[in-house]
Structures are given as C-alpha cells and as structure tokens.
Structure 1
Amino acid sequence: MDNASGPRVLVVDDEENIRFIVRTALEMDGFDVEVAESGTEAVERVESHRPQVIVLDVMLPDVDGFTVLQRIRDRGCHVPVVFLTARDATEDRVRGLTTGGADYVVKPFAVAELVARVRLRLEDDQVSSAGRQLRCADLVMDDDTHRVTRAGQPVNLSPTEYKLLHYLLVNSGRVLSRYQILDHVWSYDFGGNSAVVDTYISYLRRKIDDVEPQLIQTIRGIGFTLRVEA
C-alpha cells in the first residue's frame, strides 16, 4: 500500500509488537508512518520525516517521552502529540494532558481509539493552522464567529447541523461511514441509530446544496463525503 500522500505520523515505542500494530492500523487508515524505538532516534526522525502527528511512548530505554517532547519543541517542532504509555498515575495523566498539543492514551489500548485520537489531533491542528476557517469550494465555515456561508450567502444551521458540517469539512474528501459520523457528532452515549445521520444529511443538503456544485456526496454502501465531484 502506497501511503506517501497521507498525513505523516511518527510512532515512537521500544516494543516491536506495539510499533507493528500501531503502524499497521495507521497505514490502513491512510497515514504515512515512520517508526522509532528510542528517544534519540525519535528526535532524528522528526528532523527527517517532518511528521504532522507523533505517537510517543513515555517509557523509552534512553530518555522518557516528556524529555523527547521538550527536545523537539526546543527545535521548533510544535506538532500535536499522543502519549502512549503503561502508566496510569494521575500525575502522569495531568502532565500529558497539560503539555501543549498533547493527548494521552493508556496501555492496553483499543487500536481504533488510538487511530481516532491521532486523526482528531491532526484535524484540530489543521483547523488551528488555517485560522479556524474551513472551506470546500464556495462553502466557508468560520469557527471563531460560528458563521457559515455558501456562495457568499449566510447559512443558518442548528447546533447539531453545525457540528455535522464541521466534521464533514475537517474530513473533506474523505469518505465517512454513518457510524463514524454518529460517534463523532452524537457521541457514544447517544441512544439512537444511524438513521439519524441520514436525516441530518438531508437537512444540510437543503441548506447548503441548493446551488451548484453539490458538495455532499453519498457513497453507496459506505457513507458520505464532502467534495466537488469531477
């Protein structure tokens, strides 16, 4: 599989089986993955690979992950980080979560959750880097002002419609399943079923796809994507 065009991720862990599992899962989700097994190697890989997200084990054989993060920050690398560790102490969690641009996952972990966290960290960073303005063709969402326009005209959305459109925009061009959308927009504690996704997609279409080109595309048997069809 050629993932050279996907988002770049550096996976740093001294356990070969963890590196293999995480790398395989991320590559299957479309990421371009590089690995390192020590803190020193990680710093070198940051220079050569220029990752957009780093999955970083705290317990490494030479220096801990927090020290690695400080070193790469000192070198001007400010990409988001997902800490991966067997530690479960409150102080370690707090340290991970309060480190700029960092998240925290405790081993043993669900691979799907880790991939989702990496994707979310990347999306958040992309939104921040773009000045919190998302675009697809002439559809524009300004997250600072909570304003949406299509062809220069304002679009009034409900809170749920806005959250759904935001998720489609940050994943523009990527096909999302109904259950991915359900989990992200309505969260895991939602008691309904995936039919609500189709209902709200229909609401959005009435509001943003009343002009050409139509942007919300249905991928039969899979889900939906936001893009301009060639």
Structure 2
Amino acid sequence: MTAGERGLVLVVEDDRAIADLVTLYLRREGYGVRVEVDGRQALAAVREARPVAVVLDIGLPVLDGIEVCRALRAADDWTPVLFVTARDDEVDRVLGLELGGDDYLTKPFSPRELVARLRSVLRRAGGPAPAEALRVGGVRLEPATRRVWAGEQEVALTPTEFDLLAHLMRRPGQVFERAQLLSAVWGYAVAAGTRTVDVHIGQLRAKLGAHLPIRTVRGVGYAVERP
C-alpha cells in the first residue's frame, strides 16, 4: 500500500466488487487506497494510516458507517467523509451529514462521479483560500487557517460547513439559491441534492447560534444577516 501522489484514501466497503472498482478508479487518479471491510477496522485504519479522506459505506458489519463517523467526530477527528449507502433513505443521509459527513452517494453510482465528489470534498478541506479574515455579526472566519469563532468560542466545522459559511459571509445580505450553493460549494447542482444544503445550514445554525443569524427565504434559499 502506498499513499499515492494525491494522498491515501480509506475505502470502507464490505462488497468486494464495489471496493475493487472504486480502488481502480481512485488509483487511476493518483490516490493510494486502503480497503477495510468493517467499521471497527476502519477506525483503527484512520488512526494508523491518517488518510486524506474516507469513502464510507453505511451498511457495514460489526460497526456501521454512521457509528464510525460518530466515533471519529467525537474524537475530534475531522477527516473528510464521503458516505455511500445502498438505501435510498433520506433519514440515513440526513443523519450522516448531521454527524459530520461531507457528502453522500447512493448505490448504484458511477465511479467517475465518486471520484469527482471526492475531489470536491478534498478541495473544500484544503484548497487555496484568501488570507483576509471575514467578520459578520459575532462570527470571525479565517480562511488562511480555516478556523472560526462565534464570539470568543472557537467552533469546529467540517470542511463543507466551513466553505458554505465562508461563501455566505463574503456577501452578507445576499440571498443564495440552493442550486447556487450546491454549485459554488459542492461543485455540482442537482435537484436531489438541495436537502444536503438544508442539513448543512441547520448544522451551522446549531453551532453559531445567535452570533450569526442565517435567514431562510422560503422557496428560494438562504442569506446571512448582521445581528
């Protein structure tokens, strides 16, 4: 196992055919790949190998993907997570994102789409950013260090939450449609993905509280407002 020129991706998938296909496409893109087949092994692999991202199936033996992500975030490990699920069940997807997942795909999926989604997740996690700090209301965001404070308290955000917040804070008062946010932050825009935006907005509201009101414009999208 080698890290690859773009870093090591941990693929946690108990279906060998899917794992082999994902591995093939990731290696073509220059990623190293390590495969684990159950959740407990996945947690140990994250601690040992320090991957740049985790492609995480929800329906795993021993410990399912939701519990793996829960354990990582509880340990303050914010390695980007791309969920994969065989169940077209919105509850699973929403729960996964609320736990700190960065994106999701439903089986069957195109391996090319998985690679594209992974690139977007990694871009959000460590892409170039302007150095100038952003301040709106009681929230300060530092793009260069990817750190956020609500009042005097530093707030831990996932890479996706951070980029969504930064996009909104750069234009306080401007209303962004959900499709615009998907395109700008996630790198794609499809109607089925708009619920993803709603979940991440809910997470930002929970973490930032009254320090930064995020207004819902019914039937349109969202805007941050100065308190």
**What is the TM-score when the length of structure 2 is the normalising length?**
0.56
Q: Distance in 2 between matches of 1:47 and 1:64?
A: 17
Is the 1:127–1:133 Cα contact (8 Å) retained in structure 2?
A: no
Q: Using the TM superposition, name which of 70-79 and 104-113 deviates more.
A: 70-79
Report the counterpart of residue 43 of structure 1 in structure 2: 43
Q: Say if 1:55 and 1:2 are closer, same or farther in 2 by CA, change over 3 A.
A: closer
Where does residue 87 of structure 2 map in the other structure? 87
Paired-residue identity, % = 37
Cα pair 1:85 1:105 within 8 Å, conserved: yes
For structure 1, the 5+ residue unaligned runs are 135-142, 147-166, 168-183, 189-230
Number of matched pairs: 146
Q: Which amino acid aligns with 1:56?
A: L
The answer to whether the 8 A contact 2:53-2:81 is kept is yes
Alignment of 1:33-112 (within 5 A): 33-112=33-112
For residue 66 of structure 2, give the secondary structure of its aligned residue in structure 1. helix
How far 1:48 moved relative to its partner? 1.3
Query: What residue in structure 2 maps to residue 31 of structure 1?
Result: 31
Write the distance in 2 (CA, Å) between the matches of 1:22 and 1:4. Answer: 15
Could you tell me how far apart the structure 2 residues matched to 1:107 and 1:18 are? Answer: 10
Q: Considering only CA atoms, is the larger Rg found in Structure 1 or Structure 2?
A: 1
Runs of 4 or more above 3 Å deviation: 127-131, 143-146
User: Counterpart amino acid of 2:143?
Assistant: R
Q: Does the 8 Å CA contact 1:79/1:101 hold for their aligned counterparts? A: no
User: What corresponds to 1:132 in structure 2?
Assistant: 143
Query: What's the offset of the Cα at 1:3?
Result: 5.4
Counterpart for residue 177 of structure 1: none
Kindly provide the CA deviation profile for residues 57-112 of structure 1, in whole angstroms up to 9, marking residues without a partner as x: 00011111010111222333111111111011121121123332421100000111
RMSD: 3.2
